[in-house]
Structure 1
């Protein structure tokens, strides 16, 4: 734990889906300025699946999905009398599920709970979906902690704070029209933080979460003109925070953490997912119901839940997928060691997916390092997103790569750290800055190499896990620092180049 003469505080600013290679001195001068001022995490990775609400839950718990239990943006609840799909974008459903589970929707303590138990305050301001905003502090209402949404006033957990913000700034902005850049909410929340939340509350920890450029990357493409314009707009909003921080925040012991929860790749071809699965004779559908043998959650990361799981059915479905050119890495329950039940699959514990809510078959769509129409490396197949648009969820290096910059009185200045790090590391590092011990539920570590009183760069041990069935083969790369293991990336091929 670290201390200074006065109290330390932390502000985390999240840029939804921002790839680190989209930062530049001309496009993002403020982010670039912070990068020079603090410590840049050059090998920062998110968690698998690289989906927003999974990653955000890992950020605020400091734990991998096998511990916190949010195994996908959507997952099948097989415990209910009638199995049902759970969509965590629905904030009211999130609260209902937490109540119904006696407070155990998330299986480990979150940052809000830990801070409250230590007498510290916490505020969340987010323009993500209503559910993602709630997931950043799903206990906010019962803990009397502030949450403000950039679009959904109902998500607010402090009516007086919302009233003051709207009295100053006007009504909470309506969601942007489908497929258009979402700008108003980002400016609204930045002003809410600087003009109301900080002056009135001065929270020990605050999260300002921009939902962009994720939305525009999905609907325009990661390197499209509109997306780059959105990134520039966000950088200007962040510049307001940075100006305040340099003049007032840093002298008061405020530390800044800037991050993104995942990266993006570009769709280059369409995958015939359901046709391939149904050709096996196993009746597959996207929702549970009569006559459905397997529920397929076919987002950019795939999850298959069998009504009556059997090794034979799992092997049949996996074998069919592995014959298709779009099939990327596949994970099933462990048969022994690192091998999955189905030939060619890897054990799902290797990607921290061994949880009662986990699907019988987890898979990603195949990616490559070719350049997209905008000149950026990283392409993949998709079952539903149009060619040319940005997606995430899988294990391509550009999906797993995410932004990480730390700055403040106790952070090393002008450093580019090449020590592997991950999204689970932010919560323990925040607690360390506040003088709070890291709970044993956290799998992340304190980023000591970024701290002025920290240790020397710790060593990293890299491992590669391989599996093969016929012409299909896959390779998963992981790296370990101390007791913390990170997923670096994974890919699959139908050619012998991985041998």
Structure 2
């Protein structure tokens, strides 16, 4: 917020990049009524607006990074004094010499113990670790082959009907929701790209690494003024640190941090072709991590080694900084899911490897002396559906053109979001798509002038008519000026096939409202969580931030999610009532998706 624009919210929409981090076109201004105007803006301008926060974070990290150096210098000074004492004692005779040596030996042991304590001293809890297994399906969690996760399940709470609970079900959006506890219509990370309101232009592509490594996503969320879990932690525990990490998915780590995490780190290729740690400017760790030889790989890690690398990165953050909260994205299940679909021969070994990484992190927290004070959350950002059926993107394009419309952007996934350049053409294009009766397209929804979605295709096309209410609930989670004009919702195991996907043989996707993409694993474990408890409450991603905040002793405020009271050992009465209040609608939605998926399977 700048002084000359009181009451106006600034939203950066860079439209192009010259390959540097210096300039990205224009900025959109939005007032409280949602009116947008534009003005010149640079990435550097955006960075300057957060300068005070960045300087504060850097100062805090410098104090931590120099602690070990101070202890080392102090230890060396003590050692020098002890050596002089020993030499003096030698001149005083054999007895005095022996006594001095014994005294010196004891003092040296004490100094070394002090030094170790400064590096790995157990801190006062509570702590939390959130692990996101990108694209893991609920039915891919086989506890017989995942003993480390099985131990957490036995010591915690499992949600059998956990779901994404929003649209779109994709990485950037889901991680933004996890990091904030608000739905997409508030944080406005609506996929890879979305319409800039009041224009016929789309936002920049969030899969553009040059853009996202500038911290674009975190800044974008931060400018929305929505709450975020990192800020709650900082307010509850002044001086505590929050780290958000991934392998190559900077867009996942940055979304989790929501612009407020102290550290946002990820993996990237350098000029040599090596895979090394990178970080968002202003959220970097010390050189000990960025220049770690253990994290410098000679080639891009594959076949589980990227998830292993990510665990090593997390271990280094744990032992150097003892973050109050660490959130980690494991990317490889998603990587291979797009290539192999849900093939058990591919996904099985990857999930077993994930279990190994979970075991490493649990052991690391034990070595750090804070395991008994740490709550764990293990989940996924979305699931993956196999491409047993496909919708040709070219066919969708032709129908739009024949109806007199021009596509601004046609999205992909196990649904199809569509933006039309001329908004006046939207109603007739929607009707044309509905009348096309494309196989495996269950429903066509259009956004009306009020900003709400309505069904324009026949309800008879739905596998279960009751699922229409669920679809409308899901569509409402991202309904906004930025959201798609038209949405095609598919049946199970169906994805949009683009020319590029056809060329590489893409076999899996996500993003939509199918139960296959929505159903995810969710396990909570730790000192604040019920043991060996199974819940059928339809927990959503938006509920994770309030739940973690509650476990950490913070008070959630102004969030769309709820603390999962049934998992807590000592939930308050109001939390129990709040969960009971939303449960009927959540159960209705999930049961409709389950029923619809079951009917489609039996056909």
TM-score, normalization by structure 1: 0.78
Q: Identify the residue that residue 433 of structure 2 maps to in structure 1.
A: 318
Work out whether 1:215 is the aligned partner of 2:335.
yes
1:254 and 1:408 in contact (8 A); partners too: yes
Q: Identify the residue that residue 69 of structure 1 maps to in structure 2.
A: 188
2:218 and 2:258 in contact (8 A); partners too: no
Work out whether 1:406 is the aligned partner of 2:510.
no
Q: Identify the residue that residue 489 of structure 1 maps to in structure 2.
A: 593
Q: Identify the residue that residue 394 of structure 1 maps to in structure 2.
A: 512
> Do the aligned partners of residues 146 and 218 (structure 1) sit closer, same or farther apart at CA in structure 2, a change above 3 Å counting?
same
Work out whether 1:308 is the aligned partner of 2:422.
yes
Q: Identify the residue that residue 439 of structure 1 maps to in structure 2.
A: 557
Greater relative contact order structure (CA < 8 Å, 6+ sep): 1
Q: Identify the residue that residue 458 of structure 1 maps to in structure 2.
A: 580
Larger strand proportion of the pair:
1
> Do the aligned partners of residues 42 and 155 (structure 1) sit closer, same or farther apart at CA in structure 2, a change above 3 Å counting?
same
Q: Whole-Å Cα distance in 1 between the matches of residues 233 and 217 of structure 2?
A: 19
1:41 and 1:416 in contact (8 A); partners too: yes
Once the two structures are superposed, the pairs formed by residues 77-116 of structure 1 within 5 Å of their partners are 77-79=196-198, 83-94=201-212, 95=214, 103-104=222-223, 106=224, 108-116=226-234
> Do the aligned partners of residues 20 and 342 (structure 1) sit closer, same or farther apart at CA in structure 2, a change above 3 Å counting?
closer
Q: Identify the residue that residue 322 of structure 2 maps to in structure 1.
A: 202
Give how far 1:497 is off. Answer: 12
Give how far 1:264 is off. Answer: 1.6
Q: Identify the residue that residue 279 of structure 2 maps to in structure 1.
A: 155
Give how far 1:162 is off. Answer: 4.8
2:306 and 2:332 in contact (8 A); partners too: no
Q: Identify the residue that residue 479 of structure 1 maps to in structure 2.
A: 587
1:233 to 345, 353, 357: 353
Give how far 1:39 is off. Answer: 0.6
Q: Identify the residue that residue 24 of structure 1 maps to in structure 2.
A: 142
Q: Whole-Å Cα distance in 2 between the matches of residues 462 and 102 of structure 1?
A: 31
Q: Whole-Å Cα distance in 1 between the matches of residues 320 and 561 of structure 2?
A: 32
Give how far 1:293 is off. Answer: 4.7
Give how far 1:421 is off. Answer: 0.7
Give how far 1:98 is off. Answer: 6.2
Q: Identify the residue that residue 170 of structure 2 maps to in structure 1.
A: 51
Which ranges in structure 2 are unaligned for 5 or more consecutive residues?
1-122, 270-276, 460-467
Which ranges in structure 1 are unaligned for 5 or more consecutive residues?
285-290, 368-378, 464-477
Q: Identify the residue that residue 350 of structure 1 maps to in structure 2.
A: 473
SS in 1 for 2:318: helix
> Do the aligned partners of residues 51 and 170 (structure 1) sit closer, same or farther apart at CA in structure 2, a change above 3 Å counting?
closer
Give how far 1:336 is off. Answer: 9.0
2:515 and 2:594 in contact (8 A); partners too: yes
Q: Identify the residue that residue 372 of structure 1 maps to in structure 2.
A: none
Give how far 1:44 is off. Answer: 0.7
Q: Identify the residue that residue 444 of structure 2 maps to in structure 1.
A: 330
- The Cα offsets for residues 286-323 of structure 1, whole Å up to 9 and x where unpaired, read as xxxxx9454322343311111121353243343245x1
1:192 to 309, 313, 336: 313
Give how far 1:349 is off. Answer: 5.8
Q: How many residues align?
A: 446
Give how far 1:205 is off. Answer: 0.5
1:250 and 1:409 in contact (8 A); partners too: no
- The more displaced of 248-257 and 356-365 is 248-257
Q: Whole-Å Cα distance in 2 between the matches of residues 245 and 409 of structure 1?
A: 14
SS in 1 for 2:550: helix
TM-score, normalization by structure 2: 0.66
Rg bigger for which structure? 2
